[in-house]
Amino acid sequence: MIVVYPIPPTLADNPYLDLLYQPMTGTEVEVRRVRPLRRGIAEALGRNGPRVVHLHFFDEICQRPSRAETMARTVAFVTLLRLLKGRGARLVWTVHNLEPHEVYQADLAEQLYGEVAALCDAVIAHSHSAATALAERYGRPPKLYVIPHGHYVGQHGPKVKRSIARAQLALPADAFVCVSLGAWRPYKGLEDLIAAFRDEERRACPEPAEGAEDRDRPSLFPRSRSLLLIAGQPKVPEYAAFLAQAASHVPGVRLLPGRVPDERMPTYWAVADVAAVPYRRLTSSGVLIEAMSYAVPVIAPDVPMVRELVRDGETGFLFQPGDVASLRDALARAQAHPDLPAVGQAAFDHVRRYDWNTIAAQTICVYRDVVSAQMAGRVP
C-alpha cells in the first residue's frame, strides 16, 4: 500500500483534487487528505513505509506581501520538504502554474519553484508544452511525466436549455453573449477583455455624425446584439475596483462579483455563445476545460499549452495574449462564425477524451515508479 498526502488536502472552489483521487479508492493507493495541513504533514513525517507527498499548490503557503515573511516561509517550506525526504517520503509535484498567480516576491518565487523541481522525485505537467517550459525555466527534474488535466463533463450537473437559462439571468434571447467565469485576478487580463468588447462594439456600432438626433443613434445593450458577462470572486479588492471603473462606461458589460455556486455553473455556461479566457499567461486552466466540457466555444490565448487543446476556428478562437486588438479580432471572428454550436460540439468531443479514471491510473503509475525506485535502492 502506498500512502499519499496531497498538498493542499482540499480545494474550496475547485473539484480537481476530488476528481483525481476518487478513482483511486480501492486501489493500491490510500489517499490521506488530512486537515488541517500541519496534521497531515506530521502524520507523513511520523509514518513508515511507502508514502508520497503530492504537491499541487503551495504559493499561498509561501508568498506574502512582506519580503521578510516570504523569505522565512520559503526557507521553512523547503526545509520541510527536505525533512520529508530524509524521513523516507517521496515527493511528486503537479505543475499547475509555472509561477504564482499573485507574485509578491518574484525572485523568491523563482528560487522556490527551482528548488521544488530539483527536490521532487517526479514532476507531472498537464501538457508537453508545459513540461518543456518547466525544464527550460527550472531545469529538468529526475522524472518528468505528462498527464493531462481531466474534463469536467457533467461535473456541476447537465447543461440547461439556453432559453430557460437566459430567462433566469434576465438576458435577451437573441443577444450574442460572451461569458467569462472564475476568480478575478490581475493575470487573467479581464480589463483587456472589457477593452476588446468596447472596441468591437464601437466598430460594429459607430457613433453617428455630429448633430444627429438621438433617435438616429445605433441602439446598444439591452437592445444591442452583444453582451459581455463577467462573473467570479474578486481575489484582489483593488483589481475589482479597477474592473468596475473600466466597465462603467461600456454598454453591454455586466460585472457580477461573487462566487458562482456550483449548481449555477450549468446555467452560466448555457447562456454563453462563447467563453472568454483572456489570460495574459497560462500553464493550465480548469475554467477553459470546463467551458469545453459544457460544449461552449472558447476564446483563449495563443500559447503552446492552449494549442494542445484548442484548434483555432475549429474548437475555439485564439488571440495573442496581452494584445487587445488580437482579442477584439477573436471576438469578431467568433460572432461572425456561421455555426458556433458546431464549434462547441467539437470542443466537447475533444475534451471528453481526458477521462479521470485514466488520469488517476497514470498518476498511480507515477507513485509506483518513485516508490519502486526508492525500494530498489536507486533513490536514497
Strand 2-7: give its sheet, edge to edge: 29-31, 2-7, 51-55, 90-95, 122-125, 144-146
**pLDDT at res. 205:** 54
Q: Yes or no: say if 279 and 323 are a contact pair by the CB < 8 Å rule.
A: no
Tell me the one-letter amino acid at 87: R
Instruction: Show the 3-state SS of the chain.
Output: CEEEEEECCCCCCCCHHHHHHHHHCCCCEEECCCCCHHHHHHHHHHCCCCEEEEECCCHHHHCCCCHHHHHHHHHHHHHHHHHHHHCCCEEEEEECCCCCCCCCCHHHHHHHHHHHHHHCCEEEECCHHHHHHHHHHHCCCCCEEECCCCCCCCCCCCCCCHHHHHHHCCCCCCCEEEEEECCECHHHCHHHHHHHHHHHHHHHCCCCCCCCCHHHCCCCCCCCCEEEEEEECECCHHHHHHHHHHHCCCCCEEEEECCCCHHHHHHHHHHCCEEECCCCCCCCCHHHHHHHHCCCCEEEECCHHHHCCCCECCCEEEECCCCHHHHHHHHHHHHHCCCHHHHHHHHHHHHCCCCHHHHHHHHHHHHHHHHHHHHCCCCC
**pLDDT at res. 103:** 86
**pLDDT at res. 249:** 87
**pLDDT at res. 377:** 62
**pLDDT at res. 203:** 62
**pLDDT at res. 134:** 96
Domains of the chain: 2-150+355-374 (3.40.50.2000), 162-351 (3.40.50.2000)
**pLDDT at res. 159:** 84
In terms of phi and psi (left: phi > 0; alpha: psi -120 to 50; beta: otherwise), the region of 258 is left
What does each C-alpha distance from 308 to 94, 149, 301 come to in angstroms? 18, 12, 12
Task: Quote the CA–CA distance of 125 and 283 in Å, as a whole number.
Answer: 9
Q: How would you write the pLDDT of the chain (380 residues) with one tens digit per residue?
A: 999 999 999 998 889 999 999 999 999 999 999 999 999 999 999 999 999 999 999 998 999 999 999 999 999 999 999 999 999 999 999 999 999 888 889 999 999 999 999 999 999 999 999 999 999 999 999 899 999 999 999 899 988 899 999 999 999 999 999 999 999 999 999 999 999 998 876 665 555 445 444 433 333 333 357 999 999 999 888 999 999 999 998 989 999 999 999 999 999 999 999 999 999 988 889 999 999 999 999 999 999 999 999 999 999 999 999 999 999 999 999 999 999 999 999 999 999 999 999 999 999 999 999 998 776 665 54
Rg (alpha carbons) of the chain, rounded to whole number: 23
Closest by CA position to 145, among listed 117, 119, 161, 126:
126
**pLDDT at res. 199:** 80
**pLDDT at res. 49:** 92
Task: Quote the CA–CA distance of 348 and 315 in Å, as a whole number.
Answer: 8
Task: Quote the CA–CA distance of 369 and 171 in Å, as a whole number.
Answer: 52
Beta bridge partners of 184: 234
pLDDT in tens, 304-340: 999 999 999 999 999 999 999 999 999 999 999 999 9
pLDDT in tens, 99-115: 988 888 999 999 999 99
